Amino acid sequence: MEPRGQSKGHFVFFTCYTTVSAVIRCALILSLLLWASEAKEDLPECEETDYYFEYTECDSTGSRWRVAIPRSQGACTGLPDPVSGTDCSFSCNAGEFLEMSGQQCTQCAAGTYSLGSGIRFDEWDEIPAGFTSLATAGEEALSCNSSTWVPQGTHLQSNQDECTVSLIYAVHLKKQGSVSFEYQYVDSNIFFEFFVDLKSGPNILYWRTTGVLLGAKIIKPVLLKNIQIKGVAYTSECFQCRPGTFSKTPGSPSCELCARDTYSGKGASSCTHCNKETQFSSEGATECKEKPACSEKDYFQIHTPCDSEGKTQIIYKWIVPKICVEDVPGAVVLPPSGERQSCPPCNPGFYNNDTASCSPCPTGTYSNGMNACQKCPAGTEPTLGYEFKWWNTLPSNVKTSCFNVGNSKCDGMNGWEVAGDHIRSGAGGSDNDYLILNLRIPGFKLPTSMEGTTGREFGHITFVFETVCTADCELHFMVDMNRKSTTVVESWEGSKEKQSYTHIMTKNASVSYTWAFQRTNRAQDVRQHVNDIAKIYSITVTNAQNGVASSCHPCALVSQASGSSCVPCPAGHYIEKDTNQCRECPVDTYLSRHQIYGTEACLPCGPGSRSNKEHSLCFSDCTFAHATHNRTLTYDFGQLGPGGSIMNGPSFTSKGTKYFHFFNISLCGPEGERAAICNDNVTDLSSKNLLRESGEFVNNVETFICMSTIIPPDGRGFRTAVSSQSISLADIFLGATVENTLSGISVSPDLFGETSKGLPDVNFFYRSPQATSSWENGRSAVIKLRCNPEKPAREELTVPSKCPAGTCDGGTFYFLWESASACPQCTEADYHGIEGVCKGGVQDTHYVWNEPRLCTRGVSLPRKRSSPCEAIDLWLKLGLGTGAFTAVLLISVSCYFWKKNKKLEFKYSRLVMSANKECELPAADSCAIMEGEDNEEDVVYSNKPSLLGKLRSIAAKGNGESCESVQLKPKPERWVWG
């Protein structure tokens, strides 16, 4: 319904037919009329510059009103009345804007542009209206008031501290839209997230960054520019072209970059030329710069085609465009051209026909680069791959470029230059440009004789490089598989001597290898480190699809009569050199992935390991045996085999951000499969889309032992815990032993302390062959398994107290796994029996474990064993009792008679002593029994002289006495003398 109103003097009468669809519209018009009624009569009439038009919200019928909004309230009177607006679905085409006075689409003027139904932000001298930079600090006591996204003219730069900073933009879309932007994200120490789900209605866009400073290294910021949002209903004005761009015709949907040696200001319809004699500018320049003095970096050399004599001429040319002057002090001049040299050779696998260009050898042929291509002999096949060691021209599958989100002067420039025996980083546009070198490999193909094997190495890349720097330069090596996500594999900082690096491919996929060199991460207007360079001398890729051959190798034959037909050997077979026949590798050996010729191709497995059926790898079945003290200890680590994990920490960065080191461990893995997975869930827009499309982890590590850095959700504003910087610590199982040293890996005896249980610890040794900038042979790891019956079956994983991060040097990691499952299996020597009493003719034997019990599983404790026994017979009991009674009686009688005998001897002694010298016995004083004497009947006479009597007799003989007394046998009622 249309509103009706009329004015009388200073009063306004307003009638509104209030339907539900017109409530908001009527309220807005009413407020405007009330404001107008309060205006004074002496205010001037409003002119077109005093107000602007806006649309009201659309109602349920898709209608809206155009109303005039004063720029300054109360400055004038007589605003235009509200009128019916365009349909809510109305929009203008690109290059047009909606002129609100006539409500018609109008072309943008020259020097401006319009997206029609979208908006673009490409100028960042300040944060545009509508954007908000909001900093949060989580639970840590950080001061984040100064943390913000920083405008840098052509782009936005994120914060470089540990605060969480969100760039927020609210937009109302009339239909489902889209958002696009350009960004540079090179540092894994900063998390970059983008949240959006554009739909019709209000939308809020978030770009959020959080730094995690785990060391003294400065975080490299995220760079953001050219944000473009589509889906708005209309734009009421055109945007001026930013400096360095122009639009020469009306109705332009975008602005073009100014060409080299030209420049422009804001809103330009054309570009201004520089003075070509003394000035220059790159593409998209905002001003002209004075040309510097020429140096050696401003020219390069090329070789002319080889002539009939095999010679070539060296030609020197200035780099185009030439941005230097020669006629100033200190400038170098272009060296003279025309020097004849021998033609440089082609790379292995290529040939030339007396020309300057090299061509790949046809299929089935090979060349060392200096000779013509030849067919492989019978019984051999080409060794495919790439070997670039001569850099006369850029190979067809190698590309070079320059990239810098914040520096458009880098666009279109070559990043690297060929230099004969090496390729080196180029000049670039500024010192903080990323100079890119890219090598594309469509996939990998194993040699015919190795097809069907289950090895993990499909191929590898090896390159020799060197960096010479005076600033904080960095060289990054990155890998992109199947065009999903580029991952930084290794980085080198500062000057590095000439060295080699190898990366192994464990998946057969299309891969892109990228080298990115940056002289410094600090942007500067004046180039100061132009002489800092990176050199790559050679690049070698094995088993590359569509590769070339530099040599041939033997292949297996079906039979001697089959000619040169090459067939693949079965898995785990090597080729015998003399007969070219396939032979299976011996037991507990694995086939080398680098060559399969001769018995030396079968490498022995380490101690405590065995090979799988295909002889492709060695693994542990989680069992181990060790002989000690005439006893064999047998271990079964099956319960530990599925794996374990340990969260080490917390640790804190210099600003208090809390983080943990998370280790995931797969002790054995099923048949040697590496089951431990660490996922890197630091996401940006591209990885989120890839994750949604592929349904797979984009950045994850599968290995025996891996490590991730975990940021808890409560510290940085994250809704869930964030995992980052996942690395592999153990790709290959080397062996298990009770010794503390294996394959050059040593475990200090005092690292975990000696076991107090009297049992040896079992050490599992691993290695990761991927070389790093600090460890040429890769990282290594040791898991020490210690028997402890008091610990749970799978818990108690710890790291050394001396090395709280699990490593003391960054290259070798140590873990202690104390568990009852780490004890040896029980045997008969681990228990003993205890016999009970014989009861009822049955005797029981009970079995108990030896204390302390230091075994698990194995044999079980035997059950109670019962055996028959014989009871003592009754007659035997009686006999024993009678014998015992008789013995006691005899002892008693003997004691009694011994006492009587003593008395008799006493009486006899008195009698002898009272006798005279003539040996006469004294007369009896009385025949009666004296008091105290026993009756004669109790006297016992002995017919043997007593010992005392014998002694006395001997003594008497010695005195000359010839007589002696002899004890006579007793006779009744008389004495006998002799």
pLDDT band at 37 (very low <50, low <70, confident <90, very high): low
Mean pLDDT lowest for which of 256-265, 432-441, 793-802?
793-802
Q: Is 19 helix (H, G, I), strand (E, B) or coil?
A: coil
Q: Which residue has the higher pLDDT, 594 or 31?
A: 594
Asked if pLDDT for residue 4 goes beyond 60, the answer is: no
In the prediction, which pLDDT does 516 show?
93
pLDDT digits (tens, 9 = 90+) for 329-352: 889 989 998 888 877 788 999 987
Contact between 798 and 648 (Cβ < 8 Å) = no
pLDDT digits (tens, 9 = 90+) for 70-115: 888 777 888 888 888 887 777 788 898 888 888 888 999 999 999 8
Residues 6+ apart with CB under 8 A from 475: 465, 467, 491, 492, 496, 515, 516, 517, 534
pLDDT band at 795 (very low <50, low <70, confident <90, very high): low
Q: Tokens 């080299």 — which residue?
A: 260
Q: Is 877 helix (H, G, I), strand (E, B) or coil?
A: helix
Mean pLDDT of 664-691: 66
DSSP state of 319: P
Contact between 244 and 274 (Cβ < 8 Å) = no
Using alpha carbons, list the distances in angstroms from residue 52 to 99, 100, 109, 165: 11, 8, 20, 35
pLDDT digits (tens, 9 = 90+) for 495-534: 999 999 998 888 888 999 999 999 988 776 666 787 889 9
pLDDT band at 376 (very low <50, low <70, confident <90, very high): confident
Mean pLDDT lowest for which of 80-94, 463-477, 558-572?
558-572
In DSSP terms, 245 is beta-bridged to: 257
631-634 contacts at long range (C-beta below 8 A, 24 or more positions apart): 631/827, 631/829, 633/759, 633/760, 633/824, 634/824, 634/825, 634/827, 634/858
Q: How many whole angstroms separate alpha carbon 265 and alpha carbon 243?
A: 4
In the prediction, which pLDDT does 946 show?
52
**Amino acid (1-letter code) at residue 65:** W
In the prediction, which pLDDT does 203 show?
84
Phi, psi of 104 (to 5 degrees): -135, 150
Q: What's the CA angle centered on 593, arms 589 and 597, to 5 degrees? A: 75
Whole-number average pLDDT of the chain: 78
- How many CB atoms sit inside 10 A of residue 283's CB? 19
> Considering Cα of 956, then 962, then 965, then 966, what sign does the dihedral take?
positive
The distance from CA 916 to its chain's CA centroid, rounded to whole angstroms, is 124
Mean pLDDT of 579-597: 85
CB crowding 607-640: b at 16 or more within 10 Å, else e: ebbbbbebbbbbbbbbbbebeeeeeebebbbebb
Mean pLDDT lowest for which of 35-39, 85-89, 702-706, 923-927?
923-927
In the prediction, which pLDDT does 380 show?
82
Asked if pLDDT for residue 936 goes beyond 80, the answer is: no
The pair of three-digit structure tokens given for residue 906, joined into one six-digit string: 């006493």
In the prediction, which pLDDT does 688 show?
43
Contact between 303 and 261 (Cβ < 8 Å) = no
Using alpha carbons, list the distances in angstroms from residue 543 to 348, 460, 595: 14, 8, 12
Q: Which has the closest alpha carbon to 768: 456, 318, 390?
A: 456
Q: How many whole angstroms separate alpha carbon 724 and alpha carbon 730?
A: 18
Q: Is 893 helix (H, G, I), strand (E, B) or coil?
A: helix
Asked if pLDDT for residue 548 goes beyond 90, the answer is: yes
In the prediction, which pLDDT does 108 show?
93
Q: Is 661 exposed, middle or buried (0-12, 13-18, 19+ CB in 10 A)?
A: buried
- For the whole prediction, is pTM greater than 0.85? no
In the prediction, which pLDDT does 654 show?
66
Is the preceding peptide bond at 650 cis, omega within 30 degrees of 0?
yes
Q: Which residue has the higher pLDDT, 22 or 280?
A: 280
Percent of the chain with pLDDT over 70: 79
Asked if pLDDT for residue 32 goes beyond 60, the answer is: no
| Residue count of the chain | 978
Q: Which residue has the higher pLDDT, 793 or 338?
A: 338
Q: Which has the closest alpha carbon to 556: 451, 483, 691?
A: 451
Q: Which of 68-72, 232-236, 454-458, 935-939 ranks highest by mean pLDDT?
A: 68-72
In the prediction, which pLDDT does 759 show?
87
pLDDT band at 356 (very low <50, low <70, confident <90, very high): low
Using alpha carbons, list the distances in angstroms from residue 535 to 24, 309, 473, 541, 908: 68, 32, 13, 18, 133
Asked if pLDDT for residue 22 goes beyond 70, the answer is: no
Asked if pLDDT for residue 716 goes beyond 70, the answer is: no
Mean pLDDT of 564-571: 72
pLDDT band at 3 (very low <50, low <70, confident <90, very high): very low
